[in-house]
Amino acid sequence: MVVFFATIGVYSSINQSNQGTITLAYAQQDDQVVSTNVISQVLEEQGYNVNMTSLDIPVVWEAVANGQADAMTGAWLPITHQAQYEEFKNDVDDLGPHIDKQAKLGLVVPSYMDVDSIEDLDDQANREITGIEPGAGIVQATDETLEAYPNLSDWEQIISSTGAMNAQLERAINDNDEIVVEGWNPYWIFQRYDLKYLDDPKGTMGEAESIHTMTRLGFEDDMPGAYRILDNFKWDVDDMEGIMLDIEDGADPEDAASDWIDENRDKVDSWVE
């Protein structure tokens, strides 16, 4: 399959001579928009021209595996992108996680609620779990959770949209009401509100994942300096969520990434040393 993609952003260095052009593939998901904007600007500061290429998730993997893109920063492992990893693992270079075992999903409540485990749920929040779009993996996991926990036998999942869930969460917290929502990290709601995951002793909501950086084979030989930066790229879920919150509050993704870089120069310097 030939992948055709459109470049939506190009950064060119003003600080150093041109070190070459790098194509970063990403999907239009919050974490990938954030990480790709940040690492693009860091590479640009080191003299690289960076093309940011927006694709669907399966095509992101295919583009890197085929060498039509140089790298991506949105590989969720070992669960979410397991199928893509099994298909392309021999055709990509896995640099390991930039977010290490901090990406997760689960049932989430405001911290003021007096429950700590899914097993503690009884008649809270009208016995409803506020969900997101039908077909999302977390929606399926919630269905499995409702079936697995006897105390949830008379609970139901209210499927809506991510935006509607966000609005209901804000309204409930403003009124100090009970609410149970589907949550995941990284996501900006954990920066805006005081929330907690409910313990999941049956493990039906899945386990913590990592978000990996992948490059095409041969990239290390072709651009060792850029490869080193991508290999050194490590940060925390709080870093990513802070940028997400700025974007949610109206900042342009490029500007939000630039502000974070300016405010976290020590961390960025450790990537380029």
* CATH number, residue 46: 3.40.190.10
Q: Are strands 128-130 and 195-197 parallel, antiparallel or unpaired?
A: unpaired
Look up the domain containing 182 and give its range: 103-197
Task: Give the confidence band of 201 by pLDDT, cuts at 50, 70, 90.
Answer: very high
- b/e code 228-265 from CB counts within 10 Å (16+ = b): ebbbbbebebebbbbbbbbbbeebebbebbeebbeeee
Show the tokens assigned to 51.
């093309």
pLDDT at site 40: 98
Count of domains observed in the chain: 2
Mean pLDDT of 188-200: 98
Whole-angstrom distance, CA of residue 41 vs CA of residue 251 = 16
State whether 121 and 193 are in the same domain: yes
pLDDT digits (tens, 9 = 90+) for 95-109: 999 999 999 999 999
In this structure, are strands 7-11 and 49-54 parallel, antiparallel, or unpaired? antiparallel
Asked if residue 202 is part of any domain, the answer here is no
The residue count of the chain comes to: 273
Confidence of residue 92 (pLDDT cuts 50, 70, 90): very high
pLDDT of residue 13: 38
Q: First-to-last CA distance in the chain? A: 38
Confidence of residue 16 (pLDDT cuts 50, 70, 90): low
CATH code of the domain containing 135? 3.40.190.100
Of 137 and 189, more confident: 189
Instruction: Answer yes or no: are the C-beta atoms of 70 and 20 closer than 8 Å.
Output: no
229 shares a domain with 189: no
19 and 95 housed in the same domain: yes
Q: What are the tens digits of pLDDT across the range 39-71? A: 999 999 999 999 999 999 999 999 999 999 999
Q: Assign 80 a pLDDT band (cuts: 50, 70, 90).
A: confident
Does 5 score more than 70 pLDDT?
Answer: no
